[in-house]
Structure 1
Amino acid sequence: MLSIALKMLLGDRGKYIGIITGIALASILMIQQPGILISIFARTYSFITDVALPDIWVMDPMVRFIDDSQPMLDTQLYRVRGVKGVEWAVPLYKGNTRVRMSNGQLVTSNMLGLDDATLIGGPAVILEGRLADLRLPDSVIIDEAGARGRLAKPPATPDGRPIPLKVGDMLEINDKRAVVVGIARATATFGSQPIIYTTYTRAKTYAFSERKMLSYILVKIKPDETVPAVAERISRDTGMAARTAREFKRMTLNYVRKNTSILTNFGFVVVIGFIVGAAVTGQIFYNFTLDNLRYFAVFKAMGASDRMLQGMIFVQALLVGFIGFGFGAGITSLVAAITRGGTGLTMTLNWQLLLGSAIAVAVIVLLAALISVRKVMQLEPAVVFK
């Protein structure tokens, strides 16, 4: 009987393709939108992800997220270094700066000042140049997206493309000279602003004059210590907040989620995709069942049980659901692979997202099957003789 159910389904090509198309479109919406949302959320704490070496981030207690750095006095660095259990602690400057292009345009960028001696916090992937070249006079390293995008040199012709920055080019940062000594690959930020790496001392000269310039202190604990114990000592002895990378990420993510409407907007699209998918699939599948009522009546007249007829309908529904979800997930994964590593909108897919979308598709097809089952259960076998 199951083979007959599949022949019934595949025999009506129009409705078969229509059901699969509806499920595929619903799957694309339910996978793509959360995938983009996950990528956007990951960008909010991308810098924390890139700086993976330290165990603890020390900051002002009023900091709410990564870009909300509250400057501290440089003397706090020496206080942290004196805490028991700290193997090393280095300074980090993080702030916004203005870069003047050759055409006079000002571009706001993220500037990171790394410890002069160790350069901890620098980019892990250097495409051109060397990280050690930051110790040269007036040197900076630019992230790849910024070098090809907002910080690219104006085109040579009116209709030409911008010319990417390369090693040896000059920049003007807050009316001061900067020499590009390297191009690095970094995770895109939430605002997609260019990232400029330099030393901590030079960052203080590029930035506007302020009494406090220390944004964060990166701490590595000794091998025989535990992170919670050292973090508690740092907070007690210095009055600063000491958080692990995971805690800092969670704090940043919670701030963005609570203070923006991103989650609501993307969630609304996912709900619409589920409703539209359920409506389209349910309508087409119900019409398919109506067109085949005479066959189900024959099966009833021949003695087929209600459970057998229900099994036939659920097999048909699960088959189109499986195929439709496969097409939708495949198309979305292909788009995610193509856009990966780009500077624009990207998608992050994981097994939890795919599993959740698969469950949603299963709910859609089962609802459609239940509507059709109800019609078949009310069918009288005598209808076949009319």
Structure 2
Amino acid sequence: MLWIAIRMLTGDAQKFYGLLFGIAFSTLLITQQLTIFVNLIERGASGVYNAPEAEIWVMDPVSRTTDVKYEMPSTALDEVRSVPGVEWAVPHLRANAAVRTSTGDLEGVAIIGVDDATLIGLPERMVEKSKSVLSQPDTVVIDDVGINNLFENGTDPIGQRLELNDQRAVIRGVADAIPSFTSQVTLYTKYSQALNYVPGTRNRLSFVLAGVSDGLDPADVAARIEEQTGLKAETRDDFARAGIDFIIQNTGIPTNFGITVVLGFVVGVAIVGLTFSLFIRDNIKQFGALKAIGVTNAKIVRMVAAQAGLVGSIGYALGVIGTVLFIWGFSGNPFFKGFYIPWQIPLISLGAVIVILAITGWLALRNVLSTEPAAVFR
């Protein structure tokens, strides 16, 4: 009987392809939008991920993320270093500035000052040159995504001169960095040099990055820092999560993407439901004939379930493959750098497809189950 059900479904090519399109389109829309949403909000933690050595971030109590912060006095560095359990602590500066290129263009950039001696705070990998280029005077390292915003396509950034706060800055390296949420141009330099590049204020220290001694829990050391210094200290994972939560709570991104996902679900129900209902209506005589020869309602339900399962599996596979091809096709675009599909998202899409097929299958089955076998002969 299941083979008869499949032949009935594939025998009507127009409706069969219409069902596949509805499921594939819904799967593609839901999977693609959720993938972009997850990767986009994760960039709220890019500042933390770009400094992998730091196990603890110490900041002013009112600071919330790497971008929403309040500067501390320089004495905070020594206070953190004096806390038992802190293996090392280095200064970290983050500020915004306007840079003038050699062609006279003006561009807003983020200036990140890393520790002069250890270069902790600089991204782990370099695209061009090495981290040692920061030992040269007036040197900055640009992130690879920022190249496209600061220079025309094809322009080699190495050796380009910039003007920051009436001072010269020379790009001598390119860092492989995770883009920020706004994809802003980011320049890395030594902490001492960064103090000259950003306007002077009374307090200049944005964060203190710290490591813990072997065998100690970073959460325990962070609590000890807060108790002894009165500053706010968070582990790397907690501070990364704070950056993600800030975007979720203070932007309309979750609402916008949520609306798109819901629309994908509704469109899937509409297309699949209408097409499936038309398919059942056109084949109502065949189902009636089967009931007339003794096929029970339970077997009819299994036949429709087999039809829905075939359409769902093929359409779902096409939708997921379409999302993979989309991410792969735009992988060269700086906006999509590092985008990936979390394993949970295809499962969510699969659940949505099952619900769509369950709703539409139930609506279509009502006419079949209420059909009397005698109606075929009339």
Q: Same fold (TM over 0.5)?
A: yes
Q: Map residues 20-39 of structure 1 onto 2, 5 A cutoff.
A: 20-39=20-39
Report the CA distance between 1:28 and its aligned residue: 1.1
Question: Using the alignment, how far apart are the partners of 1:248 and 1:242 within structure 2?
Answer: 9
Give the number of equivalent residue pairs: 377
Deviations 1:327-363 (A, max 9, x none): 0110011111222363124653111111011000111
Give 2:274's aligned residue: 283
Q: CA deviation at 1:131?
A: 0.4
What secondary structure sits across from 1:374 in the alignment? helix
- Taking every aligned residue pair, what percent have the same amino acid on both sides? 39
Match of 1:157 in 2: none
SS in 2 for 1:281: helix
Partner SS for 1:84: coil
Give the corresponding residue for 2:92: 92
Q: Residues of 2 paired with 1:116 and 1:366: CA distance?
A: 62
TM-score (norm 2): 0.97
Please say if 1:169 is aligned against 2:160. yes
Contact 1:130 1:181 (8 Å CA) reproduced: no
Is the Cα contact below 8 Å between 1:176 and 1:206 reproduced in 2? Answer: yes
Alignment correspondent of 1:117? 117
Which of 250, 253, 271 in structure 2 is aligned with 1:259? 250
Counterpart AA for 1:139: T
Aligned pair 1:223/2:208, yes or no?
no
* Structure 2 counterpart SS, 1:233: helix
Unaligned runs of 5+ in 2: none
Output the amino acid matched with 1:73.
P
Tell me if the contact between 1:101 and 1:171 (Cα under 8 Å) persists in the aligned partners.
yes
- Match of 2:12, as an amino acid? D
Structure-2 separation of matches of 1:95 and 1:340: 29
Q: Which runs of 4+ in 1 moved over 6 A?
A: none
Q: Which segment drifts farther, 335-344 or 269-278? A: 335-344
**Aligned partner of 1:205 among 196, 216, 219:** 196
**2:150 maps to which residue?**
151
Counterpart residue number, 1:355: 347
- Note the residue ranges of structure 1 that are not aligned, 5 or more in a row: 153-160
- How far has the Cα of 1:268 moved from its partner? 0.6
Pairwise mapping of residues 208-357 of structure 1 onto structure 2 (< 5 A)?
208-340=199-331, 342-345=333-336, 347-357=339-349
Matches of 1:285 and 1:339, distance apart in 2: 35
Paired amino acid for 1:126: M
Give 1:310 deviation, angstroms. 0.6
Deviations 1:360-385 (A, max 9, x none): 01110111111111111100111221
* 1:45 partner amino acid: A
Alpha-carbon distance between aligned partners in 2 of 1:186 and 1:228, rounded to the nearest angstrom: 26
SS of equivalent to 2:149? coil
2:112, 2:194 within 8 Å by CA — same for their partners in 1? yes
| Aligned counterpart, 2:55 | 55
CA distance in 1 between partners of 2:332 and 2:98 (Å): 26
Task: State the 1:224 CA deviation.
Answer: 2.8
Query: What SS does the corresponding residue of 1:150 show, helix, strand or coil?
Result: helix
Residue 123 of structure 1 aligns to a residue whose secondary structure is: coil
AA at the equivalent of 2:75: T
Q: Is the 8 A contact 2:102 2:161 kept in 1?
A: no
> What is the distance in 1 between the residues matched to 2:183 and 2:27?
28
RMSD value, Cα: 1.3
- Any idea what the Cα deviations from partners look like across 1:267-299, whole Å, max 9, x if unmatched? 011111101110110010010011111111111
CA distance in structure 2 between the partners assigned to 1:187 and 1:342 by the alignment: 13
Within 1, Cα distance between the matches of 2:342 and 2:123?
25
- Per the alignment, in what secondary structure is the counterpart of residue 88 of structure 1? strand
User: Does the CA-based 8 Å contact 2:52-2:123 persist in structure 1?
Assistant: no
The code of the aligned residue for 1:150 comes to N
Specify whether residues 29 and 363 from structure 1 end up closer, same or farther in structure 2 by C-alpha distance, changes over 3 A only. Answer: same
Work out the CA distance in 2 between the residues paired with 1:178 and 1:66.
Answer: 24
Identify which range, 76-85 or 249-258, moves more after superposition: 249-258
Letter paired with 1:28:
L
Question: 172-181 or 337-346: which moved more?
Answer: 337-346
Amino acid at match of 1:151: L
Q: Distance in 2 between the 1:351 and 1:206 partners? A: 43
TM-aligned CA deviation for residue 105 of structure 1 = 2.2
- Paired letter, 1:342: N
- SS at structure 2 position matched to 1:212: coil
Distance 2:106 2:22 in 1: 48
- Whether the 8 Å CA contact 2:52–2:124 is kept in 1: the answer is no
Structure 1 contact 151–165 (Cα < 8 Å) conserved: no
Alpha-carbon separation, structure 1, partners of 2:127 and 2:90: 25
SS in 1 for 2:262: helix
Q: Which amino acid aligns with 1:349?
A: I
Aligned partner letter, 2:100:
R
